[in-house]
Structure 1
Amino acid sequence: MGKKEEDFYQRLKEELVQSTLWPAEYLYKFIVPTDDTKIAQVQAAFNNMGAVINTKTSSKGKYTSISINVRMKNPEAVIEKYLQVGEVEGVISL
């Protein structure tokens, strides 16, 4: 992980600690190229967590947005999931 990425996640962690009482619901949003394998990889990261997952394909069908609402125990767990999903090729975290 590069310095820029580390700074981003450190800032996110601080904001989550200050703004939220944990455990809490957290909404993840990702964009992936429309590819069943990549979509499944993102969804698999949230298996057995009681996540509510919604997908929507872009108008031209090139990309799929994935919204995942899930109860997370703390800011570290939130960031862990971002890092895990970030390993999926072509994924963009919003």
Structure 2
Amino acid sequence: MEILQGNENTNPEEFYKSLKEKLENQHDFPEDYLFKFIIPTDQARLTEIYKVFDGIKFTLGNRESKNGKYTACNVNAFVLDADQVIKIYQEVAKIEGVILL
């Protein structure tokens, strides 16, 4: 798992605790929340990400890098609370090669 925001020295448990506090302070749940990921261009990985959002209302936006090596994946999903956002990030983080933004 690679997380671009925050301190690289923070362990995942501390990161998600801090993220929950920020989400609760900055968002008015339930609401649409924009998830952003970067992955090596691979349809199977995109499909794995989409499966995480099964049962959730969402819209997609994907864009390949100039050389086609990477794909930026944006998922705008209706979430109920900060815990749901964190659960989604944790599930996507299990997918090999995904960078969470």
Identify the TM-score tier after normalising by the shorter chain.
over 0.9
Find out whether 1:5 has 2:12 as its counterpart.
yes
Counterpart in the other structure of 2:89: 82
Please give the residue correspondences for 1:39-58 in structure 2 after superposition, counting only pairs within 5 Å: 39-58=46-65
Match 1:35 to one of 36, 42, 61: 42
Give, in whole Å, the separation in 2 of the partners of 1:82 and 1:16: 13
In the comparison of the two structures, how many residue pairs are matched?
Answer: 93
- 1:5 is displaced (CA, Å) by 1.1
Letter in 2 for 1:36: Q
| Alpha-carbon distance, 1:47 to partner | 2.4
TM-score (norm 2): 0.86
The equivalent of 1:70 in structure 2 is 77
Q: Which has the higher contact order (CA 8 A, sep 6+)?
A: 2
For structure 2, the residue ranges without an aligned partner over 5 or more in a row are 1-9
Q: How far apart are the structure 2 equivalents of 1:50 and 1:81?
A: 13
Identity of aligned residues (%): 35
* C-alpha distance in structure 2 between counterparts of 1:36 and 1:50, whole Å: 21
Shift of 1:53: 0.8
In the other structure, the counterpart of 1:60 is 67
Where do 5+ consecutive residues of structure 1 fail to align?
none
> Structure 1-normalised TM-score?
0.92
